[in-house]
Amino acid sequence: MKRLPSLPSGRTQRLALVTGVAMLVAGGVTGGVLATAGPAPKTYTAYFAEAVGVYPGSDVDILGVKVGTIDSVQPHGRQVKVVMSVDASVPVAARVDAVVIVPSVVADRYIQLTPPYTRGRQLASGGSIPQSRTATPVEIDQLYAAVTKFAQDLGPNGVNKNGALNNVLNTGAANLQGNGQALGTMIRELSQLYQTLQGSQGNFFGTINNLQQFTAMLDGNNSQVAQVQNQLAEVSQFLAADRQDLAGALNELATGLSQVQGFVADNRSALKSNITKLEAITQILVNQRASLAEALDNEPLAADNFINAYDPGNQTLEGRGDLNELDMGPCAYPPYGPAPGADCPDNGTNSSGQDQSLLPLPAAGVPTPAPSKAGTGSGAGQ
C-alpha cells in the first residue's frame, strides 16, 4: 500500500487552523438558524373519505393564504389519514373544517381550513378533524358514473321497461302542443309576479307578522273565541228554526216595497208638490227657530198661569190689573228704574213739564224679570 506524502508541519498547522475556523463558522450559522427558527409548527390530523390528488408537500391554506404543508397521506381503514403541519403563529378554530380544493384542472390540490379563527377555543396541536367535518370534491369519473346510472335507470332496463317514460313524454307533448305561446306568457307573468313580490317583500312579511300576531291573539283569547262561536251557532240555530217566519217577513217586506213603489209612481206629482211645500215650511221653521225656542220656554209658564187663573168653584178666570203701571210711565218702572236716556224728574214730568204717564214698556236690551208662579200683570192668577 502506497503511503501519502506527509505535509510539512507549517502547512499542517495552517490547514488545521482553517478547518477549525470553518467549523466554528458553521456551528455559529447553525446555532443562529436554530435560534431564529422560532417554535415548532403545530401538527393536526384530518380524516377524509377519499383524498385523490393530495400528496405530501401540498399546501394547507386559510382564506387562500398558505399556513402549512401536508406531511403524510395514508389509508386508515375506510378513510384516508392526512397529517399536516401549520405555522405555530396561526390560530386554528376548535370546530374547524378541512376541505380539499381543486383550483383548476391541472393545478395541484390543497387543503383549506375553514372557517378562520376569530375568537373562542383553539384546536390544540396534535388535535384531529373527524370525517364529519371534512369534504372532498366530486371527481369527474363519479359524475360520469352518476350520469350513466341515471341514463340506465331511465332506459329500457329501468323506468321505461314497460314504456312508462314514453307515455309520459307523449302525454306531455300532447298537452303542450299548441300551447307554446300560453306557456311563454305564463313564464313571463310568473317572472313579473316574482319581481312584484320581491319589490313588496317588506309589506308581504309585515302581513305575515300581523297574521302571526292575530293568530297569537286568538290563541291567547281562546275562551272568548269559543264563546263567540257558540253564540254564532245559537244565532244560526235560531234563524234556522224561524226560517219560515223570516221568509214570510221578507216576502211581506217585498210586497210592501212593491206597493210603496206603485204608490210613489202613481202620486209622483202630488208627492213632489207636497215635498216642495214642506221645504218652504221647514225653511220657515229654520228661520224662526229662535222664536220657537222662546215660545217653548214661555208656553209652560203661560199654561201654568192659565191653570192657576181658573177658579173651578165659580168656573171663571180670575185676574188683576196693575193700574199704577199705566199711570206712572217709564220714569217709574219699578224693577228697572228709568229707561236709558229718559228725562225723568221726581214728579213724573220731564224738564219741559210734559206728562210722562205713558204705557210702561221694558227698555230695549233689559231682560224681563222672572215672574212669580202665580204670574204678574194682566191675566195672572190669584
pLDDT digits (tens, 9 = 90+) for 15-34: 555 565 566 555 555 554 44
Q: Would the pLDDT of 43 be above 90?
A: yes
* Residue 367 three-state SS: coil
- Give the tens place of pLDDT for each residue, 136-181: 888 777 788 888 888 877 777 777 777 777 888 888 888 888 888 8
Identify the band that residue 373 occupies on the pLDDT scale cut at 50, 70 and 90: very low
Task: Give the range with max mean pLDDT: 95-99, 206-210, 351-355.
Answer: 95-99
In what side-by-side order are the strands of the sheet with 110-114? Answer: 128-129, 42-48, 79-86, 65-76, 59-62, 110-114, 97-101, 134-135
Q: What is the largest CA-CA distance in the chain?
A: 189
> Given pLDDT bands bounded at 50, 70 and 90, which one contains residue 200?
confident
Strand segments, DSSP code E, in the chain are 42-48, 59-62, 65-76, 79-86, 97-101, 110-114, 128-129, 134-135, 310-311, 316-317
> For the chain, what percent of residues have pLDDT higher than 70?
73
Of 357, 358, 363, which Cα lies nearest the Cα of 338?
363
Is the pTM higher than 0.75? The answer reads no
- Check: CB of residue 358 under 8 Å from CB of residue 330: yes
Average pLDDT over residues 238-246: 86
Question: HEC states along 118-129?
Answer: CCCCECCCCCEE
pLDDT at 332: 52
Kindly report the average pLDDT of the chain as a whole number.
78
